[in-house]
């Protein structure tokens, strides 16, 4: 839960908003909630808020009790209110209130998140995919922006995740594997809304399976289709090479998340006819067996690696529409480029005038000089696990 809030009057409402988001994640998706709880404590409220915001928008787009025009209008209103709430620094809606605080606290780009809302708006008329390529394109349009802002969130907290260009397709397939697992585990919920979020060419390979699914019948054709799809999802998720180059903390979380989603696929295969009527999750015993070692490893990282936590305080909201909030602290030089190259200086006359605000670098909770030095040494074209451990620990400490 955020430690330093903008005012005492806002503290109770903000904490209640984050608790609302936390309950929503834990109730609706215990597997993803378990993964979030492995991340640094300072970041967990942000994950809850981002997940709950996307779920709220998705619920509007999928509401079976409203027609297409009504769903589109409600989603447009929700995103418009979000923009207005961000300008004011707070919201009467608990999910938007938590997301607004998260965006401001961690300097996230709401415009990036809007891209997923745009994809959801197009989905209000229903979703159908002829091929896996169309399905994959839709998955990326819906989820890519949230993954990007998740990486930005980690970077702002001092947790730098190296990404390699030669693994781009692997990253995409891994995200496809996550979403296909979600789709299969939530197949019953989707069918209850009249949706079948699978490509037509996959359904056509198993004659009769589509009709049986829509009728709620678990037949041998449905069983074979599900088995085929869980195998595909496992193939996309099982990419141990993606662990290479990750710092120790993120590597533990990534590995645990993969194991949890693979266990979810096992539960899908074992669910039988229940798959068409209720969400499928691994048993508590299975989750505990997979999470216990990961929790121990992340706790060990927290104890062995020390660096101040980057608990950020968001800037105060504007008192009125005419008030300008300056969100920058003292101007400092950027870290030197590894090659030693220096930017060409700009004439002072060309630089805009700046003013200082009460929201200084210290109030913002930015890392100390020592922590920034650790972070800087961890950057490079291919940081090793040892050199990248410092930034992870900076967000682990409580």
Two tokens, residue 110 = 């709401």
Residue 100 C-beta-side C-alpha neighbours within 13 Å: 29
Q: Residue 191 corresponds to which tokens in the numbers above?
A: 């069918």
Say what the pLDDT of residue 321 is.
36
pLDDT above 80 for 90: yes
Separation of alpha carbons 223 and 226, rounded Å: 5
Does 354 score more than 50 pLDDT? no
SS3 156: helix
pLDDT at 25 over 70: yes
pLDDT digits (tens, 9 = 90+) for 282-337: 999 999 999 999 999 988 876 776 444 445 555 444 443 333 333 444 445 666 77
Pairwise CA distance, residues 233 & 189, whole Å: 19
pLDDT at 59 over 80: yes
Nearest CA to 263 out of 243, 279, 287 is that of: 287
Alpha helices in the chain (DSSP H): 8-28, 30-36, 44-62, 68-88, 94-105, 110-123, 132-156, 168-185, 187-192, 200-204, 209-214, 220-237, 248-271, 284-304, 369-378, 389-396
Residue keyed to tokens 């409220």: 45
Amino acid 163: pLDDT:
85
Is the pLDDT reported for residue 126 higher than 80? no
Q: Hey, what are 109's tokens?
A: 């780009």
Q: 224 in helix, strand or coil?
A: helix
Predicted structure pTM score? 0.72
Q: What is the pLDDT of residues 244-276, one digit of tens each?
A: 888 888 899 999 999 999 999 999 999 999 999
């Amino acid at each position: 839960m955020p430690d330093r809030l903008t005012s005492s009057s806002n503290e109770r409402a903000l904490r209640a908003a984050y608790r609302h988001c936390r309950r929503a994640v834990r109730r609706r998706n215990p597997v993803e909630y378990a993964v979030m709880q492995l991340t640094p404590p300072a970041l967990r409220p942000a994950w809850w808020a981002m997940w709950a915001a996307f779920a709220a928008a998705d619920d509007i787009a999928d509401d079976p009790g409203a027609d297409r025009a009504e769903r589109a209008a409600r989603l447009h209103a929700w995103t418009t209110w979000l923009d207005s709430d961000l300008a004011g620094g707070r919201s009467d809606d608990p999910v938007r209130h938590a997301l607004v605080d998260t965006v401001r606290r961690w300097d996230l780009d709401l415009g990036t998140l809007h891209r997923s809302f745009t994809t959801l708006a197009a989905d209000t008329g229903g979703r159908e995919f002829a091929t896996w390529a169309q399905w994959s394109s839709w998955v990326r349009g819906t989820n890519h922006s949230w993954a990007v802002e998740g990486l930005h969130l980690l970077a702002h907290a001092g947790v730098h995740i190296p990404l390699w260009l030669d693994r781009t397709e692997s990253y995409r397939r891994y995200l496809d594997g996550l979403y296909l697992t979600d789709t299969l585990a939530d197949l019953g919920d989707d069918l209850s809304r009249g949706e079948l979020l699978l490509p037509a060419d996959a359904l056509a390979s198993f004659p009769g399976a589509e009709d049986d699914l829509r009728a709620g019948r678990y037949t041998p054709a449905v069983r074979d289709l599900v088995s085929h799809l869980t195998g595909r999802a496992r193939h996309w998720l099982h990419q141990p090479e993606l662990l290479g180059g990750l710092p120790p903390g993120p590597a533990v979380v990534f590995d645990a998340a993969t194991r949890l989603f693979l266990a979810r696929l096992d539960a899908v295969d074992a669910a039988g006819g229940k798959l068409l009527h209720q969400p499928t999750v691994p048993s508590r015993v299975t989750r505990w067996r997979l999470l216990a070692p990961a929790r121990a490893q992340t706790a060990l990282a927290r104890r062995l690696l020390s660096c101040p936590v980057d608990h950020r305080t968001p800037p105060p909201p504007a008192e009125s529409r005419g008030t300008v909030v300056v969100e920058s602290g003292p101007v400092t030089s950027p870290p030197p480029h590894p090659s030693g190259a220096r930017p060409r200086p700009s004439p002072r006359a060309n630089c805009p005038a700046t003013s200082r605000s009460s929201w200084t670098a210290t109030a913002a909770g930015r890392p100390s000089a020592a922590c920034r030095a650790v972070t800087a040494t961890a950057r490079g074209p291919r940081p090793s696990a040892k050199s990248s451990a410092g930034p992870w620990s900076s967000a682990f400490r409580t």
